Amino acid sequence: MDSARTAPRILVVGCGGIGGVLLSRLLEGGHRVSAVARREEIAQVLRTRGPVLRDEKGERTVRGDLEVFVQPPAQGTYDFILLATPPTGVEAAARDTRHLLAPEGAMAVLANGLCEERVARVVGEDQVIGAVVAWGASSPETGVYVRTAQGGIVLGVLRGGTDARLEPLAGVLRAMCPVDFTTNLRGVRWSKLAINCAISSLGTVGGDRMGPLLRRRFVRRLGLEVFTEVLQVARAEGVKVEKVASTLELGWLALDETERHARGSASLLLKHAVLLAVGARYRMMRSSMLAAIERGREPPVDYLNGEVVQRARTHGLAVPVNECLWETVHALARHELKPGVDTLRGVYERTRPQRP
């Protein structure tokens, strides 16, 4: 990237909840933004009316210097390509836009899961930056974007250490939220994976927002078990998990052997209290996987719980709760089951024989 350039050239790929909130806040910050919307309906609304943003500042229509494509342009050069697609589309998005990346530029991966590794296989590890998002967003209507939870973004690179491009990218993203840096991207990404495997999948199967669901003790117990299994696999992969910004300390939340078999203890009570607080903080958050199923789209569970299951198998590890959630989300997508508390309780009951 040209160090003399004061305003990095930005392309946002994906105009769903995360991408829409991001481009809206970038426009409000005075940035010139190009975006790939993929659907003509979305592109037309963004071109003519502009995005509507709902967040802690209220609701408003955002105006600014916005260029919207349905397909990536044939020509152009961008310093940062922000991949804000669902995990199911991130590799295709990288392939379709790699010709637009400046020689010293980078693709910033905002998708959940371990998608940096997938994008690195397309463009090379040196052109990938991880951007781990710790806030929530949705798009309930075409061109309408809602920020459902507060938080920041953590930036890092797969090889570890630092990178000269992180600060220029942070300068762009600070229009959206606080930005932190990590020298252990894999550790942060696995921590976020654990959160998504619990929160997103439980919210999908339960068919409700996180506040009401986490008020139920059995749901919190499932969440703790998901964390425990994911961290077990992360350790087998040689990953030292890190916090995502100032969110949960997953290493502490994981159940030890005593807690896995105890009916109750002071430490378990405290962990349940932490998840109650999480439910209160993210009470309005609704799973994007649930929205994908409702819209007839493929839920990205293979990139979350499915990723954990597949990696667990290579290490000979059992992850029954993640496996049951993985299978159940696919059953929901096939309309063999309906989301709801009863379906979620079924997950709990089916995994009890393997959780004394």
Does residue 154 sit in the same domain as residue 293?
no
Does residue 43 sit in the same domain as residue 134?
yes
Q: For the residues 306-332, what does the mean pLDDT come to?
A: 98
Q: Is the pLDDT of residue 71 over 90?
A: yes
Encode burial over 15-54: b for 16+ CB neighbours within 10 A, e otherwise: bbbbbbbbbbbbbbeebebbbbbbeeebbebbeeebbbbb
| pLDDT for the residue 246 | 56
Question: 27 or 5: whose pLDDT is higher?
Answer: 27
Does residue 173 sit in the same domain as residue 281?
no
In a domain, 225, yes or no: yes
| pLDDT for the residue 92 | 97
Q: Which of 92-96, 201-205, 276-280 has the lowest mean pLDDT?
A: 276-280
Q: For the residues 221-234, what does the mean pLDDT come to?
A: 96
- Above pLDDT 70, what percent of the chain? 96
Does residue 25 sit in the same domain as residue 156?
yes
| pLDDT for the residue 356 | 38
In a domain, 311, yes or no: yes
Q: Which of 258-262, 324-328, 340-344 has the lowest mean pLDDT?
A: 258-262
| pLDDT for the residue 2 | 46
Q: Is the pLDDT of residue 43 over 80?
A: yes
> Degrees (nearest 5) of the Cα angle 192, 198, 201?
110
- pTM (two decimals): 0.90
| Domain span including residue 290 | 188-354
Does residue 302 sit in the same domain as residue 341?
yes
Does residue 141 sit in the same domain as residue 207?
no
Provide the pLDDT confidence category of residue 302 given band limits of 50, 70 and 90: very high
Q: Using alpha carbons, select from 342, 270, 330 the residue that is nearest to residue 303.
A: 330
* Residue at 129: amino acid letter: I
Q: How far is CA 31 from the centre of its chain?
A: 24
In a domain, 255, yes or no: yes
| Mean pLDDT, the chain, whole residue set | 92
Q: Is the pLDDT of residue 198 over 70?
A: yes
Question: 145 or 280: whose pLDDT is higher?
Answer: 145
87 CB contacts (<8 Å, ≥6 apart)?
111, 112, 113, 115, 300, 303, 304
| pLDDT for the residue 124 | 97
In a domain, 4, yes or no: no
Does residue 101 sit in the same domain as residue 242?
no
| pLDDT for the residue 261 | 80
Does residue 173 sit in the same domain as residue 305?
no
Q: For the residues 12-31, what does the mean pLDDT come to?
A: 95
CATH classification at residue 96? 3.40.50.720
Strand order in the sheet with 78-83: 66-69, 33-36, 10-13, 78-83, 101-109, 128-133, 153-156, 179-181
CATH classification at residue 253? 1.10.1040.10
56 CB contacts (<8 Å, ≥6 apart)?
147, 150
Q: How far is CA 139 from the centre of its chain?
A: 15
User: How far apart, in whole angstroms, are the C-alpha atoms of residue 280 and residue 56?
Assistant: 16
Does residue 134 sit in the same domain as residue 282?
no
| pLDDT for the residue 355 | 44
How many domains are there within the chain?
A: 2
Does residue 212 sit in the same domain as residue 108?
no
Provide the pLDDT confidence category of residue 19 given band limits of 50, 70 and 90: very high
CA distances from 7 to 26, 29, 83, 109 (A): 12, 12, 19, 20
Does residue 172 sit in the same domain as residue 195?
no
Does residue 173 sit in the same domain as residue 26?
yes
| pLDDT for the residue 6 | 73
